[in-house]
Chains A and B, each alone.
Chain A
Amino acid sequence: QSALTQPASVSGSPGQSITISCTGTSSDVGGYDYVSWFQQHPGKAPKLMIYDVTNRPSGVSNRFSGSKSGNTASLTISGLQAEDEADYYCCSYTSSTTVVFGGGTKLTVL
């Protein structure tokens, strides 16, 4: 199972919005509404930010939103804040009854 494709890095200024894409295939992202997004700060465990494509766990800011079109899922962060600077990973269920992650995107807040 190949990793999902994410941009290596994105950046934005405080207050701006950014979008991170996550491209897979019809056997994973496109085939199921089981796409999650995780935030990881250096030296820390990942944190669930979005599940089932669009849902936010309790306690996650509504500045974070998810969507999907075809084989590509997206994470949008609005009103960028300094603490949003982190690595972000998308994740999908697959038709092989496995889980596949994206390669990760480093978000820099300028």
Chain B
Amino acid sequence: EVHLVESGGGLVQPGGSLRLSCAASEFTFSSYEMHWVRQAPGKGLDWVAHISGSGNTIYYADSVRGRFTISRDNAKNSLYLQMNSLRAEDTAVYYCARERGHWNDFDYWGQGTLVTVSS
């Protein structure tokens, strides 16, 4: 069974940084494009970033471009999200999601990790 486990969330002050990780197992990680999706408390889903299987192609939502960096280490079956210059509006549960094949067909999701940006 495909398994995705996020970690690295927590409380951070505005302007601070945090690095999220997503450990993948039970599938050939390098063959799949991966995404980060977030959900603010009580709100809807919000796409954050995408990375190709090789890591060579990356796209970001306008709201995080220039502040967040998505990356992956296929040798470690891991996906990352480096978040800098954090703002209160970045407070959310962050999910990593596997793309089935067509951009937004996220067939497996992690359980999420909560990031709280507050002073």
B-contacting residues of A (Cβ < 8 Å)? 1, 3, 34-36, 38, 40, 45-48, 51-52, 57, 89, 91-93, 97-104
Residue pair A100, B109 in contact (C-beta under 8 Å): no
Q: Mark B44-56, 1 if CB is under 8 A from A, else 0.
A: 1111001000000
Residue pair A99, B44 in contact (C-beta under 8 Å): no
Q: Which of B11-19, B24-32, B84-92, B98-106 lines the interface with chain A?
A: B98-106
> With the chains together, A4 CA to B95 CA distance in Å?
20
Chain B residues within 8 Å of chain A by Cβ, number: 23
**Of B47, B60, B62, B100, which one neighbours A51 at CB under 8 angstroms?**
B100
Residue pair A38, B106 in contact (C-beta under 8 Å): yes
Residue pair A99, B50 in contact (C-beta under 8 Å): yes
A-contacting residues of B (Cβ < 8 Å)? 35, 37, 44-47, 50, 59-62, 95, 100, 102-107, 109-112
Residue pair B103, A45 in contact (C-beta under 8 Å): no
Residue pair B45, A89 in contact (C-beta under 8 Å): yes
* Interface secondary structure of A, over-half rule: strand
> With the chains together, A1 CA to B59 CA distance in Å?
14
Residue pair B107, A45 in contact (C-beta under 8 Å): no
A102: which B residues are within 8 A, CB to CB? Answer: 44
Closest 4 CB pairs of A and B: A51-B105, A45-B109, A99-B47, A104-B44
Some 9 contacts from A to B, beta carbons below 8 A apart, are A34-B104, A34-B105, A45-B109, A46-B106, A47-B109, A51-B104, A57-B100, A93-B102, A104-B45
Looking at the assembled complex, report how far the CB atom of A27 sits from the nearest CB atom of chain B, in whole angstroms: 14
Looking at the assembled complex, report how far the CB atom of A58 sits from the nearest CB atom of chain B, in whole angstroms: 10
B100: which A residues are within 8 A, CB to CB? Answer: 48, 51, 57
A51: which B residues are within 8 A, CB to CB? Answer: 100, 102, 104-105, 107
Query: Contacts A36-B104, A91-B104, A92-B104 given: A45-B45 contact, CB under 8 Å?
Result: no
Residue pair A89, B44 in contact (C-beta under 8 Å): yes
Residue pair A36, B106 in contact (C-beta under 8 Å): yes
Looking at the assembled complex, report how far the CB atom of A79 sits from the nearest CB atom of chain B, in whole angstroms: 24
Looking at the assembled complex, report how far the CB atom of B116 sits from the nearest CB atom of chain A, in whole angstroms: 17
Residue pair B103, A99 in contact (C-beta under 8 Å): yes
